[in-house]
Structure 1
Amino acid sequence: MRNSDSDIDAPGATADVGGAPARSGTVQAVERAVDLLEAMADAGGTVSLSHLAASSGLPLPTIHRLVRTLAGRGYVRQQSSREYALGPRLVRLGDTAGRLVGVWAQSRLAELVDALGESANLALLEGNQIVYVAQEPGRHSMRMFTEVGRRVSPHCTAVGKALLARMPAEKAREILRHNDFTRHTDNTITSLAAFDAELEKVRSAGYAVDEGEQELGVRCVAVALDGPLPAAVSISGPTTRMTDALLDSAVPKLQAAADALVDELARQDAATA
């Protein structure tokens, strides 16, 4: 006998999962578990069960069973505050997925280098951090190099600004509340109020700039993908070469690369649906 928390939907089923219709033939418990992990990530990585109940629409007993199962596998961990945080086993999955995304995007980054000469990067938002998943080195002998897999805070990078600017303001603030606003240079933004003002500029312009905020003498410009993947593309180089004229030329090319990546993702999703 199946109860209201059934794991597998029958063909054609349309039971609600977190307020959204379940897809035909899918495993409802898996959909719900993924919904909870995404809700935790959206909230900055650490949440209470009551927050999950409010954001997912699921009853607390169901959430408790799912979270307990995820905790048992290391994908969620309970903190001393009784809140739950994303667990360490997700790091391995994220790193592997990130590398695959980087391989898939490499040709677009190469096109940016051919057009602009400077190093091109692809970065993802993972929890409260930015992780670089691909880079195509620039053509110049003196060029910027970002290690693939490197994780940084979003407050001091163009890709971080571009990604957070795409979010609702409250969601961005929640992520930034877990950020320590470490000062890397004299140009680093070190307060939430100042960063809020910076994000408004990014939303208005449609792109973000790092003015030597992560490393002195380095300038970077980035555009976020307008799709489900929390990613941004950027170019970076020495301030002496990254002139305003180059940035003006780079922004439409970055936007075209971002749009092309979103289109490719949509075609892949359609092919596997």
Structure 2
Amino acid sequence: MAQQSRPGGVQSVGRALDILELIDQAGGEMALVEVSAASGLPMPTIHRLVRTLVDRNYLRQLPDRRYALGSRLIPLGNSALDAFGSRSSSALADVVRRLGESANLSALDGDMLVYVGQAPSPRAMRMFTELGQHVHPHCRAAGKALLAQLGDDEVRSILDRIGMPPMTAATITDPDEFIAQLDRVRREGVAHEYGEMEEGVVCLALPVVGGTANLALSISGPASRMTEALQERAVPVLREVAGELATQLAV
């Protein structure tokens, strides 16, 4: 179901963005009748909005008359990633210099987690993430750090919509257990991930509080290096850099 327009917003713009997000969530293409059913909008309204988006290359019509995301979105997405990267690159590089492990900046995009910045570790064995990739948040420390900022009911709604697929034997797949872990994240201000996305990988994350965007800063590395001692040393470093990022990205 499409999100309700916020007070003061332009309804047609909100509806057009809803359509793009629905098509993205459906894997990149949908039929008009599917868009109408998912959004709750009447077909005449869908036709007008989709025709405008096609004319501007934000959507394209396929031979089978379905609609797919258009080429105009590619440079916009790349520019958005570059903007995040350019404003956060020095801070992420500072984390890597001080802790020796890969640093990432993530955000919630709808119900999914998306990586918007990264600085890789200089070590031969290191963790990589694909910028712009949308992933399930329940099995990532960054996802936990961000979901902990929401209320339990909202978190449950997200989990109901996208599910909790098991990535490894350690992945939390029970909503009640996950909510209990978020309570701990709220108390401690730090989220942990122990092999829940990939076996042998440990990740530590905390939210970037105070900025205009809802972001999480994290480090990840092999369990053999992400010892308790390193994690204890990492928390104040991440808090310091998260504060710097909140200031930088709010400007």
TM-score, length basis structure 1: 0.68
From 211, 231, 243, give the equivalent of 2:227.
243
Cα pair 2:212 2:250 within 8 Å, conserved: no
What do the CA deviations read for 1:74-99 (whole angstroms, capped 9, x no partner)?
A: 779xxxxxxxxxx8459644454133
Residues 1:191 and 2:174 are matched in the alignment: yes
Cα pair 1:113 1:137 within 8 Å, conserved: yes
Taking the aligned partners of 2:111 and 2:183, their CA distance within structure 1 comes to 19
Taking the aligned partners of 1:141 and 1:206, their CA distance within structure 2 comes to 31
Shift of 1:118: 0.6
Residues 1:33 and 2:13 are matched in the alignment: yes
Gaps of 5+ in 2: 27-34, 60-67
Q: Please provide the CA RMSD for this pair.
A: 3.5
Task: Flag as ranges the 4+ runs of structure 1 deviating above 6 A.
Answer: none
Cα pair 1:118 1:138 within 8 Å, conserved: yes
Taking the aligned partners of 1:244 and 1:194, their CA distance within structure 2 comes to 23
- The corresponding residue for 2:31 is none
Shift of 1:35: 9.2
AA aligned to 1:177 is D
- The corresponding residue for 1:11 is none
- The corresponding residue for 1:114 is 97
Taking the aligned partners of 2:190 and 2:48, their CA distance within structure 1 comes to 41
Percent identity, please. 40
Number of aligned residues: 223
Taking the aligned partners of 1:233 and 1:184, their CA distance within structure 2 comes to 22
Counterparts of residues 22-101 of structure 1 (less than 5 Å): 33-34=13-14, 37=17, 70-72=49-51, 73=53, 88=69, 92=74, 93-101=76-84
Cα pair 1:18 1:35 within 8 Å, conserved: no
TM-score, length basis structure 2: 0.73
- The corresponding residue for 2:113 is 130
Gaps of 5+ in 1: 1-16, 23-27, 54-59, 77-86, 268-273
Shift of 1:212: 0.6
Taking the aligned partners of 2:131 and 2:188, their CA distance within structure 1 comes to 28
- The corresponding residue for 1:153 is 136
Highest relative contact order (Cα 8 Å, sep 6+), 1 or 2? 2
From 139, 144, 152, give the equivalent of 1:169.
152
